[in-house]
Amino acid sequence: MEKKKVYIAYTGGTIGMKPSDKGFVPQKGFLKDTLKSFPEFNHPDMPEITVHDYEEPIDSANMSPKDWHHIADDIEKNYQDYDGFVILHGTDTMAYTASALSFMLEGLQKPVIFTGSQIPLTQLRTDARDNLINSVYLAANYPIPEVSLFFHDHLHRGNRTLKTDADGFAAFSSPNMPPLASIGSTIKVREHLIWQRKHKELTVRHFNSPKIAILTLFPGISEELVRDYLNQDIDGVVLQSYGAGNAPVNNKPLMNAIRQATSQGKVIVNCTQCLKGSVNMSTYETGKILMDAGVTSGFDMTTEAALAKLYYLFSRGLDVESIRKNMVVSLRGELTN
């Protein structure tokens, strides 16, 4: 039987860094050379791999939509030649990139798995080895046709993930959805959760440059701050509210600023600050007033997914009402409603 082929793109991040006098630093070619010494990759059950080091490794804190385009184009360029793709990425913004790619890669029929590590691959106590080997094995042998994220024995849908631990090996969580697959003595795939796509041909949807922002509510937030923030040249806002989507409705000037922004055609999407649960603006008066002010529910979307979805919908040239309608529809399995 012909071996499966997996493409590994090292975009940057801790996993492929080399020790130096200045601490851990990325170095072109170092990851590829290191993997050659791993006997696991010569095991008969492992696929044939190709490692592509990006010319300039990116610290994930510097990740931008331009870099998302680069990764998506890289997958498209190699799409016909490989059975699956593993994207090595820094952990800080991995959930943002995985969310973005889930919308950019329309018609995806092959696995694209993001992974990385908290400790570099060459170190004794690294988590990189297990994350990388399992990601490659899953990409070759379990063709889940989604953009996913593998970390610490769990494969999550990419646009459902959050980085929830800065130090621990279980750095990522998917609070509102079980993992697509779990690794133990056996591999358990939750087939019923896999997203079914209508389109079968890969199309990369680049984002243009809509002005998207995040506004977090907090006790004592001033109406002047909210008004000045929303008066800027902004197309869409992810509003991080309290609980099930609540806001300080007794602050009339603040609510007027939100109402004025939506009436001007700005799309404001209400996402909860809570790690788990969903926005339900009809439950309390403090949420219903937001709904009456023209704010769109984000249901149980992560902030990362809502941000990426706004980029995607604005980049398709839709009118504001169409964008608002599409925000509450699950396009890539990013929400439950």
Asked if residue 319 belongs to a known ligand binding site, the reply is: no
Whether 303 is catalytic: no
Asked if residue 262 belongs to a known ligand binding site, the reply is: no
Whether 14 is catalytic: yes
| 3-class secondary structure per residue, the chain | CCCCEEEEEECCCHHHEEEECCEEEECCCHHHHHHHCCHHHHCCCCCEEEEEECCCCCCHHHCCHHHHHHHHHHHHHHHHHCCEEEEECCCCCHHHHHHHHHHHEECCCCCEEEECCCCCCCCCCCCHHHHHHHHHHHHHHCCCCCEEEEECCEEEEHHHCEECCCCCCCCEECCCCCCCEEECCCEEECHHHCCCCCCCCCEECCCCCCCEEEEECCCCCCHHHHHHHHCCCCCEEEEEEECCCECCCCCHHHHHHHHHHHHCCCEEEEEECCCCCCCCCCCCHHHHHHHHCCCEECCCCCHHHHHHHHHHHHHCCCCHHHHHHHHCCCCCCCCCC
Asked if residue 186 belongs to a known ligand binding site, the reply is: no
Q: Which of 158, 141, 150, 160 is nearest to 182 (CA)?
A: 150
Q: Which of 11, 34, 50, 91 is catalytic?
A: 91
d(CA 319, CA 334): 21
Residue 291 · residue 282 · CB < 8 Å? yes
Q: Which of 11, 14, 97, 302 is catalytic?
A: 14
Question: Which sequence positions are flagged as catalytic?
Answer: 14, 91
Q: Which residues are annotated as a binding site?
A: 60, 91-92
Q: Which residues are annotated as a binding site for substrate?
A: 60, 91-92
